[in-house]
Each structure stands twice: as C-alpha cells, then as structure tokens.
A and B are shown apart, each in its own frame.
Chain A
C-alpha cells in the first residue's frame, strides 16, 4: 500500500512570494489533514477535510493560506504572500475516517528568506 505522498520536499522562497504544496493521500482515505510544524514544536493542525468538504479550518490563517480538495482525493495548500514566520515543515496526513489512525507524509520543508 502506497503511503501519503507530498511534493515538493523542499522549497525556498522570498517573503511576499507565493508557494503551493501538494498532497496525495492513501487510496480510499476520506479524511485529510494539513499540519504546520515549526522547528522545535509539535505539529499544529491547519485544516481538516472530510472528502471534499472542510471539517475544521479554525487555525488556518485565511488572509494568506488557502487549501482545497476538489475531488476528494488530492489536496493543495497555498500560501500567498509568504511571511518569514511561515518557515516550517508542512505535513499532510490521511485517515480512513475521523479518529482512525492518521498516516503522515514526509512533509515539505519551507524556508522563507
């Protein structure tokens, strides 16, 4: 069984630029999560999808972050414009349903200069 795929693995951009991350969850997993992991901290949930609907985006900075999961499979997370404090690892995870074991991708390490 293929795991959660994410791309790119690394990205360096200048502040005020835009960036997008892609996630392909495990086949059949209806629930998809995006987390932000700042160096030295645990992952923080940004947004949770159930199929193509948003379950919770209360911690997503909506003035600059957006996410979509149009067909209930792949998802993209976008930052526009980026700030220095957005430097972090962005993790995608999926589960068959809310509360089931979450499987994490390798993450995208974003550096904003």
Chain B
C-alpha cells in the first residue's frame, strides 16, 4: 500500500526567501506524484505533477519539484516566495492502475512573513 509523509507540518519563511517543502513516499511500484495547494476556504488546486521523464518538474506560480527515486522523495521548492504563497500544500501519490486513486500526505502549512 502506498503512503505519503510530509515531514514538516508548518514552515514559516520570510518574503523573498527560498523555501523547500519535503515529501517522502512509500510504494512497491512506480508511482505518479503530485503537489496540490489549498488556499483558505477553497478546494485543492494542482501545482505540478510527475508522471515520467525528466525528474525536475516545473509547475504554476514559480514552483518546481524534483523526483528522487533512490530517496523516494518529491520535494517542492520555490526560489523566492511571496505573501500570496501562504497556503496549505499537499503531496499526493498515485499508483498506476485502473482506478489511479490519490493518497495524500497530511499537509504543510506555508506561512510567508513580511
């Protein structure tokens, strides 16, 4: 069974500083990986996804993530954050198959400070 661990529940960072949100997964097969963002009182929005190919994936709003198969990680990074990036970020994994359901981590609250 697949599982996702987000190592930091809260990450405070100053505006214009870089940030990394960590995600590790466990699965016995090749997986698809996703990062979603959730702003207050809103649903989840897809930031980026890794299905295959290049291990460095670029997403919306200047975010990128790197798939590391040997370390079973998919960390999210942004070189310079803005106040508007304050939100909850969820890492998710999906195993290939007919249903391809998502299993989510517990989330990381990113708070950007002025």
| Chain A interfacial positions (CB closer than 8 Å to B) | 4, 40-45, 48, 55-56, 91, 93, 98-99, 101-102, 104-107
Contact = CB atoms under 8 A, between A and B. Distances in A.
Interface stretch (B53-61, B62-70, B72-80, B101-109): B101-109
A43 B90 contact: yes
B102 A102 contact: yes
Contacts of B94: 99
Given A42-B104, A44-B104, A55 B99 contact: yes
A77 to B, nearest CB: 15
A42 B107 contact: yes
Given A91-B44, A107-B43, A42 B105 contact: yes
Nearest to A41: B106
Which of B4, B100, B107 counts the most chain A CB atoms within 10 A?
A: B100
Size category of the binding interface on chain B: 20 to 34
Interface of B: 4, 9, 32, 36, 41-46, 49, 90, 92, 94, 96, 98-107
B107 A41 contact: yes
Nearest to A92: B43
Contact of B101 (A41, A48, A91): A48
A40 B45 CA distance: 18
B99 to A, nearest CB: 6
B45 to A, nearest CB: 7
B26 to A, nearest CB: 15
Contacts of B4: 42
A76 B104 CA distance: 23
A110 B113 CA distance: 31
B43 A4 contact: yes
A52 to B, nearest CB: 16
